[in-house]
């Protein structure tokens, strides 16, 4: 099926929207890294919520791009060779942004795992310190409960 100039204009519009969303996502991912590194979990949660919304929008956009995926790019009709080249450049920019985002996400995941492990180690250390302190403060003999059993028998 041969496409029309209108459909390639729509394709270029969708690719431009995708690039814009990916640029926003990249910015949030960089902010996420900053908040992870500085331990600011409240700001991190805000960034994660914003990223979730962008992911939802990207998913909707990808569904709009689905009909173009099965087309032969060489059969698309463009208004000009420049329009085609501009769309190709935007698509390449999307791929580069996605690669960068994935790299930042991987770094963020590694940083979060490190922070989790550090927190777990700190909690374990505190637990050991508390147990040690409790052992030094524990009474040496059981305290009487107020109830006594007379085991001596008469008779």
Please report how the helices 5-38 and 81-137 are oriented relative to each other, as an axis angle in degrees rounded to 10. Answer: 20
Mean pLDDT by 10 residues, the chain (155 residues): 78 97 95 82 90 96 94 90 95 96 86 75 80 71 59 58
pLDDT at 124: 83
Question: pTM for the whole thing?
Answer: 0.70
Measured CA to CA in angstroms, residue 127 lies from 92, 121, 133 at distances of 52, 10, 10
- How high is the pLDDT of residue 44? 86
| Predicted pLDDT of residue 138 | 60
Domain ranges within the chain, ordered by starting residue: 5-132
- Give 131's Cβ-side CA count (13 Å radius): 6
Nearest to 68 by CA among 11, 19, 1: 11
Predicted local distance difference test score (pLDDT) of residue 94: 97
Position 1 scores a pLDDT of 47
CATH entry 1.20.58 includes domain 5-132: yes
């Amino acid at each position: 099926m041969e496409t029309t100039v209108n459909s390639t204009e729509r394709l270029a519009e969708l690719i431009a929207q995708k690039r814009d969303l990916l640029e926003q996502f990249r910015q949030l991912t960089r902010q996420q890294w900053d908040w992870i590194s500085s331990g600011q979990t409240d700001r991190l949660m805000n960034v994660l919520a914003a990223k979730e919304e962008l992911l939802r929008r990207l998913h909707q956009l990808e569904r709009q791009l689905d009909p173009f995926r099965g087309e032969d790019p060489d059969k698309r009709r463009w208004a000009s060779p420049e329009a085609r080249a501009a769309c190709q450049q935007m698509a390449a920019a999307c791929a580069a942004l996605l690669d960068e985002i994935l790299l930042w996400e991987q770094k963020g995941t590694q940083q979060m795992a490190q922070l989790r492990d550090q927190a777990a180690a700190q909690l374990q250390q505190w637990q050991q310190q508390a147990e040690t302190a409790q052992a030094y403060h524990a009474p040496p003999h059981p305290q009487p409960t107020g109830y006594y059993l007379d085991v001596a028998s008469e008779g």
